[in-house]
Amino acid sequence: MNRNNRNRKGHPTLAAAAPVPRREGAAARTLRAAAIARRLATAYPGATCSLDFASPFQLVIATILSAQCTDRRVNLVTPELFRRWPDPAALAAARPPDLERVIRSTGFFRAKAKSILGCARALVDRHGGHVPQTLEELVRLPGVGRKTANVVLGTAFGTASGVVVDTHVGRISRRLGLTRHADAVRAERDLIRLLPRDEWIGFSHRLIEHGRGPCAARRPRCEDCPLADLCPRVGVAAGRRPRTAR
Ligand code: SF4
């Protein structure tokens, strides 16, 4: 590979490999997904959850707060929240206006307060104050959907129950041609089919970091991307060589 086939960060460019075909078969896509996973592992070796937490309980609450909000903002709010209400029993007894005041800056604070109080009460009433360790039990908690349950199981318990599909993972998976679904559950189903189970947790942490780096929502920096030669750039604006992969 000559220097012209490397971008300015030293990663292979699209010109360095055979282009991703417009109609890619399932076997070829699986191989490409494996190559993407390997490349991401090299590019983001320390990628992990960016929410601060000290227990599964704290991670459940922080993840509920992270809806429509940055993890950085959540991390500014949770120290005060867990100082005042350190466990499910204390949080279940919180006055809604007090809780709303503490979490207000994360947005949608009334709905989030309702979910958090309901979740804390359910943890106390149904699970003895402990966070359950199955997807089925987690998604029955108020405010906890499949994404939050996958985050908690993967990050707090090391259980690969699925692939966390947040806004970054969904967007980049579509650009990479690994799914065409905007719906998170359908996108997750595609990713689960393409990736071995032992990649599920790390893959989404790394893709989230990639979304905070070169593959930004508005202006992806494909010229700096370590995946450039593996990416068909589906839906990326004109001038960055968009192509339909499926
Ligand atoms: S930055 Fe560009 S090349 Fe890299 S994953 Fe995103 S769309 Fe693909």
Percent of the chain with pLDDT over 70: 87
Cα 6 to middle of ligand 1, angstroms = 15
pLDDT at site 64: 98
Cα 227 to middle of ligand 1, angstroms = 6
pLDDT at site 58: 98
Task: Give the predicted TM-score (pTM) of the model.
Answer: 0.87
Q: What is the pLDDT of residues 209-244, one digit of tens each?
A: 999 999 999 999 999 999 999 999 999 975 555 444
Q: Does 1 have pLDDT greater than 80?
A: no
245 vs 94: which has the higher pLDDT? 94
Q: Which residues are catalytic?
A: 147, 166
Whose C-alpha lies nearest to ligand 1, atom 2?
222
Q: Which atom of ligand 1 lies at the shortest distance from residue 14's CA? A: 3
Q: Which atom of ligand 1 lies at the shortest distance from residue 222's CA? A: 2
Q: Among 3-17, 32-46, 162-176, which is the least confidently predicted range?
A: 3-17
Amino acid symbol at 76: L
Q: Does residue 152 contact residue 146 with C-beta atoms inside 8 Å?
A: no
Q: What is the pLDDT of residues 138-162, one digit of tens each?
A: 999 999 999 999 999 999 999 999 9
Q: Does 17 have pLDDT greater than 80?
A: no
pLDDT at site 237: 77
Question: CB within 6 Å of ligand 1 — which residues?
Answer: 172, 175-176, 214-215, 220-222, 225, 227-228, 231, 233, 236
Give residue limits of the domains in the chain. 20-48+163-230, 56-156
Instruction: Supply the CATH classification number for the domain 56-156.
Output: 1.10.340.30
Amino acid symbol at 4: N
Quickly state the pLDDT bin for 21 (edges 50, 70, 90).
Answer: low
- Long-range CB pairs of 4-11, under 8 A, 24+ apart, other chains included: 7/223, 7/224, 7/225, 7/228, 8/223, 8/224, 9/224, 9/226, 11/224, 11/225, 11/226, 11/227, 11/228, 11/229
Cα 152 to middle of ligand 1, angstroms = 28
Q: Does 206 have pLDDT greater than 70?
A: yes
Residue with tokens 């068909």: 232
Burial of 26 (0-12, 13-18, 19+ CB in 10 A): exposed
Percent of the chain with pLDDT over 90: 86
Burial of 151 (0-12, 13-18, 19+ CB in 10 A): buried
Q: What is the pLDDT of residues 37-52, one digit of tens each?
A: 999 999 999 999 999 9
Of 35, 30, 37, 34, residue with least CA distance to 16: 35
Structure tokens of 150?
């996958």
pLDDT at site 9: 66
Q: Among 6-20, 74-88, 145-159, 180-194, which is the least confidently predicted range?
A: 6-20
Cα 62 to middle of ligand 1, angstroms = 29
Fold of 20-48+163-230: Endonuclease Iii, domain 2 (1.10.1670)
Q: What is the pLDDT of residues 108-142, one digit of tens each?
A: 999 999 999 999 999 999 999 999 999 999 999 99
Quickly state the pLDDT bin for 246 (edges 50, 70, 90).
Answer: very low
pLDDT at site 19: 60
Quickly state the pLDDT bin for 23 (edges 50, 70, 90).
Answer: confident
